[in-house]
Amino acid sequence: MASTLYAHLATPTLPSRKLSSLSCPTMFHSALSFSIGTTKVNLAPGTPVRPTSILVVGATGTLGRQVVRRALDEGYDVRCLVRPRPAPADFLRDWGATVVNADLSKPETIPATLVGVHTIIDCATGRPEEPIKTVDWEGKVALIQCAKAMGIQKFIFFSIHNCDKHPEVPLMEIKHCTEKFLRDSGLNHVVIRLCGFMQGLIGQYAVPILEEKSVWGTDAPTRIAYMDTQDIARLTFIALRNENINGKLLTFAGPRAWTTQEVITLCERLAGQDANVTTVPVSVLRFTRQLTRLFEWTNDVADRLAFSEVLTSDTVFSVPMAETYNLLGVDAKDVSSLEKYLQDYFTNILKKLKDLKAQSKQTDIFF
């Protein structure tokens, strides 16, 4: 069945084109039979799909795992699409989710994962070592087409703020084209553009400062309104349940936009020590991008440098959130600030380091 369905799906070339006419039910799945994990699933014609049944794509990622946890906490039946991997995603099973193996770069593996699913939440993006187009365009097109063909009721897609303004950056162009492709598919959907994750700052700044290693920054005044992925997940499910938001484009941003230097200064203050900052001029990034274009095998590196160049330009990745909060019925005070997020992190990690140091001294005395 999966191969038969996939035979009718073709990946368009960039820029996006409208979906071909696909016959699909709107309220019920057709008669299908698949194996999901070790379970044989049979759906007779007209089998209803529970609104609480969701599939999270990219469930092991920084955002995806928070979406899974939030969904489980709110009582959803959560299925996680995960690539086959040497180290299985056991933590997702431990939380109570069902894990199914599939790979967006192998579209024929997708249809079986959608049986019995009401809503898809797409948090996935390609790995750094693979071409951006493979997962973020071809894989997403196949996922949307399969969702349309199998009668998925709602599709949540996470995109990048201002992706429509930077067609020179492949990842941002692909995100924008995927937004349009999803809109043209006719699926009930919500597109959520994001500015930046607070969690990403831990490995980039907080840990290197604590370990007295180099912190890399730029001399550009770019400002980014980082947001806690737990808040993103919470707001996502509020949007999912609000039928008035179907078909809308939302942008989620944190309470304040920060420059790189401001983030480093904040981390220094909370850590109680100075950072060893290595500043990379934007001109170097631009030169590196042009240089890598000379070699075919570095095209993907150049694509990612292009994205880095946008992030290091004189740009503000933020939007006023008052209207969005009003639409979702959310109090702005309930959204974490970067100061609070990093303060909690440093308080916890410094306490653990202090406890470890105390334990080490006790061991020395004992022996």
* CATH number, residue 92: 3.40.50.720
Measure Cα distances from 103 to 57, 66, 74, 110, 144 in Å: 10, 21, 27, 7, 14
- State what percent of residues in the chain have pLDDT above 90: 60
Per-residue pLDDT band for 170 (boundaries 50, 70, 90) equals: confident
The verdict on residue 246 lying in a domain is no
Residues 6+ apart with CB under 8 A from 132: 126, 170, 171, 174, 300, 303, 304
SS3 at position 148: helix
Q: Are residues 59 and 102 in the same domain?
A: yes
The confidence score (pLDDT) of residue 290 equals: 60
The residue count for the chain: 367
**Domain count of the chain?**
2
Query: Radius of gyration (Cα) for the chain, nearest Å?
Result: 22
Q: Which residue has the higher pLDDT, 344 or 171?
A: 344
The verdict on residue 51 lying in a domain is yes
The verdict on residue 274 lying in a domain is yes
For the purposes of burial, counting CB atoms within 10 Å of the CB of 44, is it exposed (0-12), middle (13-18) or buried (19 or more)?
exposed
Per-residue pLDDT band for 125 (boundaries 50, 70, 90) equals: confident
Q: Are residues 190 and 202 in the same domain?
A: no
The confidence score (pLDDT) of residue 43 equals: 46
The confidence score (pLDDT) of residue 24 equals: 30
Q: Are residues 182 and 90 in the same domain?
A: yes
For the purposes of burial, counting CB atoms within 10 Å of the CB of 313, is it exposed (0-12), middle (13-18) or buried (19 or more)?
middle
Per-residue pLDDT band for 297 (boundaries 50, 70, 90) equals: very low
Q: Are residues 55 and 93 in the same domain?
A: yes
Which of 25-29, 30-34, 281-285 is the least confident region? 25-29
Q: Are residues 210 and 145 in the same domain?
A: no
The verdict on residue 361 lying in a domain is yes
Average pLDDT, stretch 175-195?
A: 97
The confidence score (pLDDT) of residue 1 equals: 42
Last residue of a domain, one of 152, 175, 194: 194
pLDDT in tens, 302-333: 665 566 667 666 778 999 999 999 999 999 99
C-alpha 171/C-alpha 166 separation (Å) is: 9
The confidence score (pLDDT) of residue 308 equals: 64
Q: Are residues 73 and 184 in the same domain?
A: yes
pLDDT in tens, 83-92: 987 777 899 9
Q: Are residues 210 and 358 in the same domain?
A: yes
Q: Are residues 155 and 211 in the same domain?
A: no
Q: What is the mean pLDDT of the chain?
A: 82
The verdict on residue 57 lying in a domain is yes
Last residue of a domain, one of 177, 194, 211: 194
Q: Are residues 134 and 208 in the same domain?
A: no
pLDDT in tens, 230-273: 999 999 999 999 999 999 999 999 999 999 899 999 999 999 99
The verdict on residue 74 lying in a domain is yes
Last residue of a domain, one of 151, 176, 194: 194
Identify any residues that bridge with 308 across adjacent strands, giving them in sequence order. Answer: none
The gap from C-alpha 7 to its chain's centroid, in whole angstroms, comes to 29
CATH code, 350? 3.90.25
List the domain range (segments joined by +) for residue 207.
Answer: 198-226+254-317+336-366
The answer to whether 172 touches 184, Cβ cutoff 8 Å, is no
- State what percent of residues in the chain have pLDDT above 70: 74
Q: Are residues 179 and 313 in the same domain?
A: no
Residues 6+ apart with CB under 8 A from 331: 325
Q: Are residues 111 and 144 in the same domain?
A: yes
C-alpha 355/C-alpha 285 separation (Å) is: 42
Residues 6+ apart with CB under 8 A from 27: 48, 151, 153
Instruction: Find the DSSP H helices in the chain.
Output: 2-7, 64-73, 90-95, 132-133, 140-149, 170-185, 200-201, 207-210, 229-241, 260-271, 282-292, 299-311, 322-328, 338-366
Q: Are residues 264 and 116 in the same domain?
A: no
Average pLDDT, stretch 14-23?
A: 38
